[in-house]
Structure 1
């Protein structure tokens, strides 16, 4: 068997030619789009404000009923 032929066949399936970039699909793509960069900062700020308002409202309602009498 000729060694050049074997090298050519091996080079066709060389690991350097394999592209495993799947960043734009599925859960990974959703995470990259929503949790990183400017959009990620906006989502985190929005979530923090929502949590702050929810805690404030729970405290207000609780305080109202505790101090009602």
Structure 2
């Protein structure tokens, strides 16, 4: 048998969240919900996406360089 104080909440991405009805863990969710729009929109969001893209480019470039070095190394 399950306790009666559990609540089931559905997000718009169709994920199911089951938690206690007393509100345990809502502080973490509300702090992320407040921070997420700031990091994903406006000028800061665009800057974060650009920096992430540049960082991803360099990671792939360096991995390709190292892999190419070992594949084409003269013996």
Band the TM-score falls in, shorter-chain normalisation: 0.5 to 0.7
**Over alpha carbons, which structure has the higher Rg?**
1
Higher normalized helix content (fraction of residues): 1
CA RMSD of the aligned region, Å? 0.9
Aligned residues: 45
* Structure 1: runs of 5+ lacking an equivalent: 1-24
Moved over 6 A (4+): none
What TM-score, normalized to structure 1?
Answer: 0.62
- Structure number having the greater strand percentage: 2
TM-score by length of 2: 0.57
* Structure 2 unaligned residues grouped into runs of 5+: 1-29
